[in-house]
Copies of this chain bind each other. A is one copy, B any other.
Amino acid sequence: MQNQTIVLASRPQGVPTAEQFRFETSETPRPAAGQVLLKTRYVSVDPYMRGRMSAAKSYVAPFEVGQPISGGVVAEVVESQNAAFPVGSTVVGNLPWQRYSLSDGQGLNRIPTDQAPVSYFLGVLGMPGLTAYFGLLDICQPKAGETVVVSGAAGAVGMVVGQLAKIQGCRVIGTAGSDEKVAYLKQLGFDEAINYKTANIAEALAAAAPAGIDCYFDNVGGAITDAVYDLLNKHARIALCGQISTYNATETPVGPRPEGKLLKTSARLQGFIVSDYYRRWPEGVQQLTEWYAQGKLQAEETITEGFDQIPAAFLGLFSGENTGKAIVKVA
Protein backbone atom coordinates (compact mmCIF):
# COMPACT_ATOMS: atom_id res chain seq x y z
CA MET A 1 0.00 0.00 0.00
CA GLN A 2 1.56 3.28 -1.15
CA ASN A 3 1.74 6.21 1.23
CA GLN A 4 2.16 9.88 0.35
CA THR A 5 3.71 12.60 2.52
CA ILE A 6 4.04 16.36 2.04
CA VAL A 7 7.37 17.68 3.31
CA LEU A 8 8.72 21.19 3.63
CA ALA A 9 10.94 21.56 0.56
CA SER A 10 12.32 24.98 1.48
CA ARG A 11 11.59 27.88 3.79
CA PRO A 12 9.56 30.70 2.21
CA GLN A 13 10.86 34.22 1.87
CA GLY A 14 7.74 36.36 2.07
CA VAL A 15 4.61 34.87 0.58
CA PRO A 16 4.87 31.05 0.44
CA THR A 17 4.37 29.30 -2.89
CA ALA A 18 3.86 25.75 -4.13
CA GLU A 19 7.65 25.41 -4.32
CA GLN A 20 7.82 25.11 -0.55
CA PHE A 21 6.07 21.72 -0.69
CA ARG A 22 7.30 18.37 -1.97
CA PHE A 23 5.28 15.17 -2.25
CA GLU A 24 7.10 11.98 -1.30
CA THR A 25 5.97 8.42 -1.79
CA SER A 26 6.80 5.50 0.48
CA GLU A 27 5.45 2.19 1.68
CA THR A 28 2.65 2.48 4.17
CA PRO A 29 4.03 1.20 7.49
CA ARG A 30 2.40 -1.34 9.76
CA PRO A 31 1.61 -0.57 13.38
CA ALA A 32 3.85 -2.08 16.04
CA ALA A 33 2.60 -2.97 19.51
CA GLY A 34 0.79 0.02 21.04
CA GLN A 35 0.46 1.76 17.70
CA VAL A 36 -2.37 2.47 15.31
CA LEU A 37 -2.38 3.08 11.59
CA LEU A 38 -4.48 6.10 10.73
CA LYS A 39 -6.07 6.94 7.43
CA THR A 40 -6.27 10.71 6.99
CA ARG A 41 -9.78 11.94 6.29
CA TYR A 42 -9.64 15.72 6.82
CA VAL A 43 -6.63 18.02 7.01
CA SER A 44 -6.79 21.44 8.64
CA VAL A 45 -4.85 24.29 7.07
CA ASP A 46 -4.32 27.23 9.42
CA PRO A 47 -2.59 30.60 9.27
CA TYR A 48 -0.37 29.87 12.29
CA MET A 49 1.41 27.20 10.22
CA ARG A 50 3.10 29.98 8.26
CA GLY A 51 5.11 30.77 11.38
CA ARG A 52 6.34 27.19 11.62
CA MET A 53 7.65 27.35 8.06
CA SER A 54 10.22 29.94 9.16
CA ALA A 55 13.27 28.99 11.16
CA ALA A 56 12.66 31.73 13.74
CA LYS A 57 11.88 30.69 17.27
CA SER A 58 8.18 31.01 18.03
CA TYR A 59 5.59 29.43 20.28
CA VAL A 60 5.69 26.19 18.32
CA ALA A 61 8.90 24.62 17.01
CA PRO A 62 9.61 25.28 13.31
CA PHE A 63 8.97 22.64 10.68
CA GLU A 64 12.23 21.14 9.48
CA VAL A 65 13.19 21.26 5.82
CA GLY A 66 12.84 17.79 4.33
CA GLN A 67 10.52 16.67 7.11
CA PRO A 68 6.73 16.28 6.98
CA ILE A 69 4.52 19.25 7.65
CA SER A 70 2.03 18.51 10.40
CA GLY A 71 -1.14 20.01 11.77
CA GLY A 72 -4.67 19.24 12.77
CA VAL A 73 -6.01 16.07 11.14
CA VAL A 74 -9.13 13.97 11.48
CA ALA A 75 -8.35 10.35 10.74
CA GLU A 76 -9.83 6.89 10.95
CA VAL A 77 -8.13 3.99 12.68
CA VAL A 78 -7.60 1.34 10.00
CA GLU A 79 -5.23 -0.99 11.89
CA SER A 80 -4.82 -1.08 15.64
CA GLN A 81 -2.42 -2.53 18.17
CA ASN A 82 -3.78 -0.14 20.79
CA ALA A 83 -6.97 -1.02 22.65
CA ALA A 84 -7.79 2.63 23.30
CA PHE A 85 -8.22 3.20 19.55
CA PRO A 86 -10.07 0.30 17.93
CA VAL A 87 -10.32 -0.09 14.18
CA GLY A 88 -13.08 2.12 12.82
CA SER A 89 -12.79 4.78 15.49
CA THR A 90 -12.36 8.39 14.41
CA VAL A 91 -9.70 10.55 16.00
CA VAL A 92 -8.37 14.09 15.88
CA GLY A 93 -4.79 15.02 16.56
CA ASN A 94 -1.69 16.79 15.39
CA LEU A 95 -0.48 14.56 12.59
CA PRO A 96 1.72 14.76 9.50
CA TRP A 97 0.33 15.67 6.11
CA GLN A 98 0.24 12.02 5.04
CA ARG A 99 -2.35 9.71 3.62
CA TYR A 100 -1.50 7.16 6.31
CA SER A 101 0.20 7.86 9.64
CA LEU A 102 1.36 5.81 12.58
CA SER A 103 0.59 6.96 16.10
CA ASP A 104 1.14 5.59 19.57
CA GLY A 105 -2.00 7.39 20.67
CA GLN A 106 -0.19 10.27 22.40
CA GLY A 107 -2.12 13.48 21.79
CA LEU A 108 -4.82 11.62 19.88
CA ASN A 109 -8.45 12.14 20.88
CA ARG A 110 -11.39 9.99 19.81
CA ILE A 111 -14.29 12.03 18.52
CA PRO A 112 -17.95 11.14 18.19
CA THR A 113 -19.34 10.67 14.68
CA ASP A 114 -22.99 11.23 15.56
CA GLN A 115 -22.97 14.75 16.95
CA ALA A 116 -21.60 16.82 14.10
CA PRO A 117 -19.66 16.35 10.87
CA VAL A 118 -16.29 15.05 12.08
CA SER A 119 -14.44 17.86 10.28
CA TYR A 120 -16.04 20.30 12.75
CA PHE A 121 -13.54 18.98 15.29
CA LEU A 122 -10.93 20.84 13.24
CA GLY A 123 -13.05 24.00 13.33
CA VAL A 124 -15.87 25.20 15.48
CA LEU A 125 -15.54 22.27 17.91
CA GLY A 126 -11.76 22.07 17.67
CA MET A 127 -8.69 24.22 17.89
CA PRO A 128 -10.14 27.34 16.20
CA GLY A 129 -13.29 27.12 18.30
CA LEU A 130 -11.24 26.76 21.48
CA THR A 131 -9.06 29.66 20.41
CA ALA A 132 -12.16 31.81 20.09
CA TYR A 133 -13.59 30.50 23.35
CA PHE A 134 -10.59 31.19 25.58
CA GLY A 135 -9.46 34.34 23.82
CA LEU A 136 -12.86 35.96 23.98
CA LEU A 137 -14.23 34.67 27.26
CA ASP A 138 -11.04 34.46 29.29
CA ILE A 139 -9.03 37.39 27.92
CA CYS A 140 -11.61 39.85 26.61
CA GLN A 141 -14.23 38.98 29.25
CA PRO A 142 -17.00 40.81 27.37
CA LYS A 143 -20.00 42.04 29.31
CA ALA A 144 -23.50 42.30 27.92
CA GLY A 145 -23.94 45.57 26.07
CA GLU A 146 -20.27 46.07 25.37
CA THR A 147 -18.91 46.54 21.87
CA VAL A 148 -16.68 43.75 20.57
CA VAL A 149 -14.64 44.00 17.38
CA VAL A 150 -13.13 40.95 15.72
CA SER A 151 -10.77 41.17 12.76
CA GLY A 152 -10.55 38.30 10.30
CA ALA A 153 -14.14 37.77 11.33
CA ALA A 154 -15.06 35.40 8.52
CA GLY A 155 -12.15 33.09 9.29
CA ALA A 156 -12.26 29.89 11.31
CA VAL A 157 -11.60 31.64 14.62
CA GLY A 158 -13.27 34.98 13.94
CA MET A 159 -16.64 33.53 12.99
CA VAL A 160 -16.77 31.72 16.32
CA VAL A 161 -15.62 34.80 18.25
CA GLY A 162 -18.45 36.86 16.83
CA GLN A 163 -21.06 34.24 17.61
CA LEU A 164 -19.77 33.80 21.16
CA ALA A 165 -19.84 37.56 21.66
CA LYS A 166 -23.47 37.60 20.50
CA ILE A 167 -24.25 34.80 23.00
CA GLN A 168 -22.74 37.13 25.66
CA GLY A 169 -25.13 39.90 24.63
CA CYS A 170 -22.58 42.19 23.01
CA ARG A 171 -22.69 44.50 20.03
CA VAL A 172 -20.44 42.72 17.53
CA ILE A 173 -18.50 44.24 14.66
CA GLY A 174 -16.46 42.14 12.25
CA THR A 175 -13.97 43.02 9.55
CA ALA A 176 -13.42 40.83 6.51
CA GLY A 177 -11.98 41.06 3.01
CA SER A 178 -14.94 40.75 0.63
CA ASP A 179 -18.57 41.73 0.26
CA GLU A 180 -19.52 38.05 0.28
CA LYS A 181 -17.87 37.59 3.65
CA VAL A 182 -19.56 40.73 4.96
CA ALA A 183 -22.92 39.34 3.88
CA TYR A 184 -22.09 36.04 5.56
CA LEU A 185 -21.23 37.80 8.84
CA LYS A 186 -24.52 39.70 8.81
CA GLN A 187 -26.32 36.42 8.26
CA LEU A 188 -24.43 34.93 11.23
CA GLY A 189 -25.82 37.69 13.44
CA PHE A 190 -23.02 40.23 13.51
CA ASP A 191 -24.43 43.72 14.14
CA GLU A 192 -21.99 45.32 11.73
CA ALA A 193 -19.51 43.95 9.22
CA ILE A 194 -16.93 45.95 7.30
CA ASN A 195 -15.13 45.09 4.08
CA TYR A 196 -11.71 46.49 4.97
CA LYS A 197 -10.61 46.33 1.35
CA THR A 198 -13.21 48.81 0.16
CA ALA A 199 -14.07 50.84 3.27
CA ASN A 200 -12.11 53.59 4.95
CA ILE A 201 -11.50 51.39 7.95
CA ALA A 202 -11.09 54.19 10.50
CA GLU A 203 -14.31 55.92 9.44
CA ALA A 204 -16.26 52.69 9.08
CA LEU A 205 -15.21 51.46 12.51
CA ALA A 206 -16.02 54.78 14.14
CA ALA A 207 -19.45 54.70 12.56
CA ALA A 208 -20.04 51.09 13.56
CA ALA A 209 -18.86 51.65 17.16
CA PRO A 210 -20.45 54.93 18.25
CA ALA A 211 -19.98 53.97 21.92
CA GLY A 212 -16.32 53.03 21.41
CA ILE A 213 -14.71 49.60 21.56
CA ASP A 214 -14.52 47.57 24.75
CA CYS A 215 -13.08 44.31 23.42
CA TYR A 216 -10.95 43.53 20.41
CA PHE A 217 -10.11 40.06 19.21
CA ASP A 218 -7.27 40.50 16.74
CA ASN A 219 -6.49 37.91 14.09
CA VAL A 220 -5.01 40.30 11.60
CA GLY A 221 -2.90 43.20 12.90
CA GLY A 222 -1.79 46.11 10.74
CA ALA A 223 -4.04 48.96 9.69
CA ILE A 224 -7.26 47.47 11.08
CA THR A 225 -5.68 47.13 14.48
CA ASP A 226 -4.30 50.67 14.31
CA ALA A 227 -7.83 51.95 13.69
CA VAL A 228 -9.25 49.91 16.58
CA TYR A 229 -6.66 51.34 19.00
CA ASP A 230 -7.99 54.83 18.24
CA LEU A 231 -11.48 53.87 19.41
CA LEU A 232 -10.74 51.96 22.60
CA ASN A 233 -12.79 52.68 25.67
CA LYS A 234 -11.29 52.94 29.13
CA HIS A 235 -10.22 49.50 30.40
CA ALA A 236 -10.53 47.89 26.96
CA ARG A 237 -9.34 44.30 26.59
CA ILE A 238 -7.50 43.00 23.55
CA ALA A 239 -6.94 39.34 22.77
CA LEU A 240 -3.98 39.11 20.43
CA CYS A 241 -4.56 35.88 18.56
CA GLY A 242 -3.05 36.35 15.11
CA GLN A 243 -1.33 38.84 12.86
CA ILE A 244 -1.95 37.38 9.43
CA SER A 245 -1.33 40.74 7.75
CA THR A 246 2.32 40.51 8.78
CA TYR A 247 3.10 36.79 8.52
CA ASN A 248 4.56 37.09 5.05
CA ALA A 249 6.46 40.33 5.67
CA THR A 250 10.10 40.22 4.68
CA GLU A 251 11.03 43.28 6.74
CA THR A 252 10.06 44.24 10.27
CA PRO A 253 6.51 45.60 10.08
CA VAL A 254 6.39 49.23 11.14
CA GLY A 255 3.41 51.26 12.24
CA PRO A 256 2.15 53.86 14.67
CA ARG A 257 3.25 52.98 18.19
CA PRO A 258 0.25 51.67 20.14
CA GLU A 259 1.59 52.14 23.65
CA GLY A 260 0.38 55.71 24.09
CA LYS A 261 -3.17 54.70 23.18
CA LEU A 262 -3.12 51.66 25.43
CA LEU A 263 -1.77 53.79 28.26
CA LYS A 264 -4.44 56.48 27.94
CA THR A 265 -7.22 53.92 28.11
CA SER A 266 -5.69 51.60 30.73
CA ALA A 267 -6.18 48.91 28.11
CA ARG A 268 -4.97 45.36 28.50
CA LEU A 269 -3.48 43.46 25.59
CA GLN A 270 -2.81 39.75 25.98
CA GLY A 271 -1.02 37.62 23.43
CA PHE A 272 -2.03 33.98 23.56
CA ILE A 273 -2.05 30.65 21.85
CA VAL A 274 -4.73 28.07 22.48
CA SER A 275 -2.22 25.68 24.05
CA ASP A 276 -1.85 28.17 26.93
CA TYR A 277 -5.25 26.83 27.95
CA TYR A 278 -4.75 23.12 27.28
CA ARG A 279 -5.77 22.16 30.80
CA ARG A 280 -9.18 23.70 30.15
CA TRP A 281 -9.77 22.26 26.67
CA PRO A 282 -12.35 19.72 27.85
CA GLU A 283 -14.42 22.52 29.39
CA GLY A 284 -14.19 24.45 26.12
CA VAL A 285 -15.11 21.54 23.88
CA GLN A 286 -18.04 20.68 26.12
CA GLN A 287 -19.41 24.24 26.09
CA LEU A 288 -18.92 24.70 22.34
CA THR A 289 -20.57 21.35 21.65
CA GLU A 290 -23.50 22.34 23.84
CA TRP A 291 -23.99 25.67 22.07
CA TYR A 292 -23.67 23.92 18.72
CA ALA A 293 -26.31 21.34 19.73
CA GLN A 294 -28.60 24.16 20.87
CA GLY A 295 -28.29 25.86 17.50
CA LYS A 296 -26.53 28.88 19.02
CA LEU A 297 -23.30 28.25 17.17
CA GLN A 298 -23.13 27.78 13.43
CA ALA A 299 -20.28 26.21 11.54
CA GLU A 300 -18.95 27.14 8.14
CA GLU A 301 -16.28 25.39 6.12
CA THR A 302 -14.50 25.94 2.86
CA ILE A 303 -13.69 22.40 1.79
CA THR A 304 -11.08 21.59 -0.83
CA GLU A 305 -10.97 18.03 -2.10
CA GLY A 306 -7.90 15.88 -2.57
CA PHE A 307 -4.62 15.22 -0.79
CA ASP A 308 -2.72 16.90 -3.63
CA GLN A 309 -4.68 20.12 -2.99
CA ILE A 310 -3.43 20.61 0.58
CA PRO A 311 -0.69 23.11 -0.36
CA ALA A 312 -3.11 25.12 -2.52
CA ALA A 313 -5.64 25.26 0.29
CA PHE A 314 -2.96 26.44 2.69
CA LEU A 315 -1.75 29.14 0.28
CA GLY A 316 -5.34 30.27 -0.22
CA LEU A 317 -5.49 31.36 3.44
CA PHE A 318 -3.26 34.30 2.61
CA SER A 319 -5.38 35.48 -0.28
CA GLY A 320 -8.54 35.18 1.79
CA GLU A 321 -10.07 32.34 -0.21
CA ASN A 322 -11.75 30.66 2.74
CA THR A 323 -14.91 31.61 4.54
CA GLY A 324 -14.99 29.85 7.88
CA LYS A 325 -12.70 26.90 8.41
CA ALA A 326 -10.41 25.88 5.57
CA ILE A 327 -10.43 22.10 5.36
CA VAL A 328 -9.05 19.60 2.89
CA LYS A 329 -11.06 16.45 2.45
CA VAL A 330 -8.65 13.63 1.72
CA ALA A 331 -10.70 10.46 1.80
Q: Which A residues fall within an 8 A CB radius of B? A: 51, 57-59, 218, 221-222, 225, 234-235, 240-243, 246, 252-260, 262-273, 276
- Do A259 and B221 touch across chains, with their CB atoms under 8 A apart? yes
- Residues of the B chain whose Cβ atoms lie less than 8 Å from the Cβ of A253: 256-257, 260
A58 pairs with B264, CB closer than 8 A: yes
**Contact assessment for B266 and A268 in the assembled complex, using a CB-CB cutoff below 8 Å:** no
Which A-B residue pairs are the 4 nearest by beta carbons?
Answer: A262-B271, A263-B271, A253-B257, A269-B269
Most buried by B among A264, A265, A267: A264
* Shortest Cβ distance from residue A271 to the other chain B in the assembled complex, whole angstroms: 4
B270 near A276: Cβ-Cβ < 8 Å: no
Contact B260 A266 (CB under 8 A): no
Contact at B276–A271, with CB atoms within 8 Å?
no
Copies in the complex: 2
Q: Is the interface of A mostly helix, strand, loop or mixed?
A: mixed
Residues of B within 8 A of A267 (CB): 270-271
Sample of 17 further A-B pairs with CB below 8 A, known A58-B264, A253-B260, A264-B271: A51-B264, A59-B234, A59-B264, A218-B259, A221-B260, A235-B276, A242-B263, A243-B263, A246-B257, A252-B257, A258-B258, A258-B259, A259-B269, A259-B271, A263-B272, A263-B273, A269-B270
What distance in Å separates the Cβ of A223 from its nearest Cβ neighbour in chain B?
A: 11
A58-B264, A59-B266 are contacts. A259–B272 as well, Cβ < 8 Å? no
CA distance A76 to B17 in the complex (A): 73
10 CB contacts below 8 A, A to B, read A59-B265, A221-B259, A222-B257, A240-B263, A242-B263, A246-B257, A246-B259, A254-B255, A263-B271, A265-B271
Partner of A256, one of B240, B252, B271: B252
Q: What residues of B have a CB within 8 angstroms of the CB of A240 in the complex?
A: 259, 262-263
Report the bound CA distance from A280 to B258 in whole Å. 28
Identify A272's interface contact among B254, B266, B270, B276, CB under 8 A.
B266
Cα A304 to Cα B273 in complex, Å, equals: 50
Contact of A254 among B57, B241, B246, B257 (CB under 8 A): B257
- Chain B nearest CB from A151 CB (Å) reads 11
A221 lies within 8 A of B276 (CB): no
